[in-house]
A and B are shown apart, each in its own frame.
Chain A
Amino acid sequence: MSREQTLRTLAGFIAEVLDDELDDDLDIDEDTSFSDDLELESIEFVALAELVQSHYGDHVDFVGWISNLELDAIIGLSVGDVVDFIERSVEAG
């Protein structure tokens, strides 16, 4: 799966979590920050984790990864960081 596809999949999940039916094309790229740009609430992260986990299965341990990130890392988290993580996990798995 290409990095671009991973990004699009993730962007789709984010749109679903945000329940944003207006912006067909939410402007999400690798630089998009979850906190500053998307203003994602911590609770919404839980929903995002569920979607990622059920899509990629066990070898992408998104929950474990997020759980072990430090708080400032989570605040600074960008969509590209998550793509990186998924790509790494998929390659390793």
Chain B
Amino acid sequence: MADAPGIAVIGLGCAFPGSPDVESYWRAIHKGVDCISEVSEARWDARFHDPQSAAVDRVYSRRAGLLPDAVRFSAGRFGIMPVAAEGAEPDQMLALQIAADTLADAGLEGEALTSQRVGVILGRGGYLTPGLVRLSQKVREAEQIASLLEELAPELDAGTVARIKTRFQERAGSFGPDTAIGLVPNLAASRIANRLDLRGPAYTVDAACASALIAVEHAVRELREGRCDVVLAGGVHLSPDVSFFAVFAQLGALSRAGRLAAFSDDADGLVIGEGIGMLALKRLDRAEADGDRVYAVIRGVGSASDGRAASVMTPRVDGQVLALRRAWAESGVDPRSLGLVEAHGTGTEAGDKAELATLREVFADGPEAVLGSVKSQIGHTMPAAGAAGLIKAVLAVHHGVQPPTLHCKQPRAELADSRFTVLGKARKWSADERVAAVNAFGFGGINAHVVLSAHGPAVPTPRPVKPLDDAQARVLLLAASSPEALLARLDEAPGAPLGVGPCRLALVDPTLERIERARKAIRRGEPWRGRGGMWFSPAGLLDEGGKVAWLFPGIEAVFDPETASVVRWLDPTAEPLAVEEGAAHVGPDAIDLESTGRRVVALAQLLDRSLRKLGLAPDMLGGHSMGEWSAMIAAGMLDAGEIDAFLDETAQGTLEVPGVLFAAAGCGVAKAEAAIDGLSGIAISHDNCPHQVILCGEDASIAVARERLIADGVICQVLPFRSGFHSPLFADYLAPHREHFARFTLTPAALPLYSATTVDTYPDDPAAIRDLVLRHLVEPLRYTALVQRLYADGARVFVQVGTGSLTGFVDDTLAGKPHLAVAASEPRREGLAQLRNLALALWAEGADVDLAQVLPKVGLEVSLSLGAPLIALGDELRGSLTAGPASEVLQGEHREETPVMSAFAEAMAALTRAGSEVHAAFVDKTRPQRFSERRRLSVATEPDLRDHSFFPQPLGWPIPSDGYPVVPMTMTIELLLEAGRKLAPDAVVVEARGLRAFKWLVVEPEVEVELVAERLEDGWVRARVVDYAEIELRLAETYPQAPEPAFGALPDPRPTPVDARQLYEERWMFHGPRYQGVTSLGPWDESGIEGVITAPRGPGSLLDNAGQILGYWLMAARDEDQLAMPVSMERIEWFGPHPAVGERVSCLVRVRAVDEGSLTGDVELVHDGKLWCRIRRWVDHRFQTDPHVWRVMRQPEHTLLSAEHAGFVLFDEQAHRAPSRDWLMRRYLGEAEKKAMLASGPRGQRAFLNGRIAAKDALRVALREDGVEGLFPVELPLGDVVEAPALGGPLSATGLSVAVAHLPGVSVARATHEPCALALRPASADPADAAREVARKRKGLPEDAPVAIEGGDAQCMVVAGVTVRTAREGDYLVAWSET
């Protein structure tokens, strides 16, 4: 089947060690980066590592090529609940993300994707992955541990063993129905088809290390036979378990040296890797017709098995040769044209030897070809290895580069007389016909081979741009009056309010380590301007009266800005800008001055708009070379359209001067003058700064000057354009420009525009301007002098409005003087990321910059853990196998020491003698009678409690106390049970009575509680969390027989208004993932409600979920006071051990009574068809909440508590029924504000809180008008001044200010971009008085200052020059200033 139709590679996606995406993967390949590292303990326990041991469960090398231990996954992007994503096999989630990226890279998204027949075929092995490990732990290992404990320690009581088993199962992580399905291995492919709505076949194939290429072979077949339009093919290998490492250690195949040295004599084995790689494939003819970008063309694929070999482990040359020959026969390509083989190359003796023999046989003759193995860089990614190799080969032919291979220090002898060479460094691959081949050979003798070739000329490797990753997107901003004060503020970070003052710090990715670095910088006291994502200014340059100069660069040797992100940010609907047209210029060839000039001018205008969107404006302007034209446009002197027209009309080459070169010399004017002394046709055209001048001259003179300079120790480079700008050599070419400039309409500059020719501001007279513009073309640029002049005229902040070297010139010229030079575009960084940096830099210097425009909000992401380390059970069970109770327990034999206790014990004994039903164990005098223990509780010790916070805050909100994490009453029950069991460690709690909770157990900040358990006369045990809750417990040796569930069907079943998912998404329940267990809700009727709970992992979460279902009944059945919290239970009975995390439990609730203040219900929980637990008279307290307040509680980011009126918002305490002021405080204020409020005395507190509510609502109204929505009140920290609070956080930069006015119980607020003033009076008051008050406040006059009303009517009057509007709203009169 020679010349079978070519298959185009139209999209690529991957995540490999060291490279989260294709671009970085190629960079790592190109540069030969070693991505091997130590396996961390988050993957597998260090105890498995032993270089000396040959034991089956020991691994002698910890080196591997791994992705980060936890990878970010955008669950929200695929409509997957975060909790479901966390429980799934991580490879499925990541494969989904990479699949979407790969298809997007091929231009396939949305309709374009779902309208086609898209198949998914992925290589994936059946190895042990974290989900399977969890399953095995829960089902098999937990029981294994229990059976061993029973066998080895028969004296252990059943309860202890059960607790150990249960705890082990809990710690094994979540495993429920959602995750169970994820264990089916084909889901790695099927989930992609499911989530992306693809209709072609989707399956996984397993051919060991050949899997990915076999998947490609299937894909090629599907496409050639016309069954699919597009196929996504590749391989997946993530999270190798320690057992996987152990296999390779046993085989002796792991490298002891910890490096994979393929084809080197000193190779000693492989290094395990992980990763995912995918390719979007389409028939070449279709791809060409559709105008797709084609990375490369797959010409042929072949596979073969070894047949009967010495063993399944030993590769056979003839099987490999067969696969290769089949692929080449199919391709119709001449093997002599081969330029690159991406080998299987595992670095094992048998493997490398056989592979080289195969290659020598198939490619016996032909020119030199490069042999490589990316495994030397990322390790052996097993079923994904073929994808890693194929993507590498595709990119190599695409970019025209033959990449290097690491560690091949002593090439094997077989290479010496072969066609093949292994490169230590990347080499340009200039052949027109670039043909590559890829090998993947699997255990057991399955061999696959792919032949591919280039499609069109090589595409240069794109310059890396650094986008903002998650960490980079987080920024810490702090301001204070002095470095000392700033240091103090830093101690409160993260989470400290922004503060005010001229001493500022902006820190990207504020990890503890980086905050420490910031501390060092602040202590040093010197400004730090940008390196490493940090800006620190001890006293803002602009606070001290400095001015801002915008400098526009001209044409430079490198022009490669990333602008797409900026264009989208300015206008999401806009087309990409003309700046992007034409290939980015980096390189030695002569630059096309005209088209580059057009793009430089276009970029300047784009950035000018961008800077203005950030709220920035210049005080003065300057340009460098052609940048002076951009500066003229910015100054309003010249119309942008006229310059565009001029450049459009300027034919290519008009700006060029033949035979003339520029050379940049790294020295000052004096040395340069010496170097050109005596030469003709040469001049200094640019005096850029003390360490750079540019010479312009005829080729011969430039050559001599260059030699002289280099001999003098001066770097001197020829620049890639031919022009005579700024030198007399251009004089002869001036005529056409003179004509153009004569036609330009010129207007005097609107702000100071400085000329680098005269080192002075431009004249106003059009004729003089024209004259200067022409002089500029033939006279030298005096840029050093210009920068000094700008500095002398007050400029301290220099913004380069474009990409280029001007910031360097400024820094060099002003070395040692206080200033900031920063670029608005930077080829190394994504455009928007650089604008963000610029905004931070300017903010630190005191600029009024709108940071909210560039600081992104956190998205719905989860962190997938790729490891499954050993389980530890925690402190609670420590020592539970050794006999004897814990230390503070009073032993029975000590009872005589206290008369009370001995009397107590005697009473117990009497009971026993009386033939009480109480089990003998509980009156055994050797048993403890009382237990007490102090216990510290916090979100640090119980991190799951973060998910039981009454006041949900923005995702990732750094201050836990703002959420108000509280121990659920049901976790309190567990604490009580735990205390009770201390008195009878071998018993189980079968019944509880009289549970009462006294107050919230808030755990942030940390709280210490006292747990007490003591025996009662009737044999029951009273357990207490002192001051918080108490209960009485009955313990027994075993659980009683479960009675039949008593609740029948609901008489009038109806579906609930919301389903289980909405219950949490819409925050009917405030609970976070660890407490989100209700997986099915309803039906309900007036008599009760039902639901299904999948036991989540938070402490006490199962019963808490039953409480959620009871609580939800109130929300479905009543319109008011829908918020309810448990306060007591009359009786609880248990008939079995607590179901493990992930188990399904049916919950049946019957409502007994509902009245104004409470809700009482009975609950039955059924597990495995049997009653597990029933609760009688569960009482919830109902809180006063009207429907509006309830909405504010649930969704504060979308609901205002205040009433919105034209011009202001009004918050009236009386207008709503809320649970308490405390609740409103916690809903609206952040930690620092709460402290300030509580410090302000009882009367002040009321005004403070009401004012804050109104102010934050007013700000949210104003921000909504600016297009910013969904802000929680805590995201708007306010300063301490009651009537005109300063705005904190990133929003200080919005330019908004807010004014507040009060009457008892009522506050009004108004937020505007201009300062404003506000007055609030009873409706009966005189509007004129209120207007005067506003005018005084607005002008900062004392209360009794006379102000005159100058005109207007009652609704709108002018008072002392201030326009004041008034309005009556109910019982109130509101007046405010307007601008």
Contact = CB atoms under 8 A, between A and B. Distances in A.
Interface of A: 18, 20-23, 31, 35-36, 39, 41-47, 49-50, 53, 63-64, 66-67, 69-72, 74-75, 78
A22 B521 contact: yes
B828 interface: yes
Interface string B684-721: 00000101100000000000001000100111110010
Interface in B464-486: 464
A49 B805 contact: no
Given A43-B692, A63-B710, A66-B715, A72 B464 contact: no
Contact of B828 (A18, A36, A63, A74): A36
B558 A71 contact: yes
A42 B692 contact: yes
B624 to A, nearest CB: 14
B1143 interface: no
Contacts of A41: 805, 807-808, 811
B808 A71 contact: no
A85 B720 CA distance: 24
Contact of B715 (A35, A39, A63, A71): A63
A63 to B, nearest CB: 5
Given A66-B715, A71-B557, A22 B528 contact: yes
Nearest to A18: B531
B588 A42 contact: no
B588 A36 contact: no
29 contacts: A22-B517, A22-B520, A22-B521, A22-B528, A22-B532, A23-B532, A31-B33, A36-B464, A41-B807, A42-B692, A42-B805, A43-B666, A43-B805, A43-B811, A46-B667, A46-B692, A46-B715, A50-B713, A53-B713, A63-B713, A63-B714, A64-B710, A67-B710, A67-B717, A71-B557, A71-B588, A71-B720, A72-B588, A75-B586
Given A22-B517, A41-B808, A43-B808, 14 more contacts: A22-B520, A23-B532, A35-B828, A36-B828, A41-B805, A41-B807, A46-B692, A63-B710, A67-B716, A70-B587, A71-B558, A71-B586, A72-B587, A75-B558
Nearest to B521: A22
Contact of A43 (B532, B587, B689): B689
Interface residues of B, number: 37
Contacts of B828: 35-36, 39
A71 B808 CA distance: 17
**Would you call the interface of chain A mostly helix, strand, loop, or mixed?**
helix
A67 B521 CA distance: 36
Interface of B: 31, 33, 463-464, 517, 520-521, 524, 528, 531-532, 557-558, 586-588, 664, 666-667, 689, 691-692, 706, 710, 713-717, 720, 805, 807-809, 811-812, 828
B942 to A, nearest CB: 37
Most chain-B Cβ atoms within 10 A of its Cβ — which of A36, A41, A67, A70? Answer: A67
A47 B667 CA distance: 10
B691 A47 contact: yes
B808 A44 contact: yes
Contacts of A74: 717
Contacts of A53: 713
A50 B668 CA distance: 14
Contacts of B710: 63-64, 67
Most chain-A Cβ atoms within 10 A of its Cβ — which of B667, B691, B720? Answer: B691
Given A43-B811, A46-B715, A63-B714, A21 B588 contact: no
Contacts of B811: 41, 43
B715 A49 contact: yes
A22 B516 CA distance: 10
Most chain-A Cβ atoms within 10 A of its Cβ — which of B558, B664, B667, B720? Answer: B558
B715 A67 contact: yes
Contacts of B558: 71, 75
Contacts of A70: 587-588
A48 to B, nearest CB: 10
B715 A72 contact: no
Nearest to B688: A43
A53 B666 CA distance: 14
Nearest to B464: A36
Contact of B517 (A23, A35, A66, A75): A23
B363 to A, nearest CB: 31
A21 B524 CA distance: 9
Contacts of B713: 49-50, 53, 63
B524 A22 contact: yes
Contacts of B715: 45-46, 49, 63, 66-67
A10 B208 CA distance: 46
B805 to A, nearest CB: 6
B1327 to A, nearest CB: 60
Contacts of B520: 22
A50 B403 CA distance: 34
A41 to B, nearest CB: 4
Contacts of A63: 710, 713-715
B330 to A, nearest CB: 38
Contacts of B706: 67
A41 B720 CA distance: 18
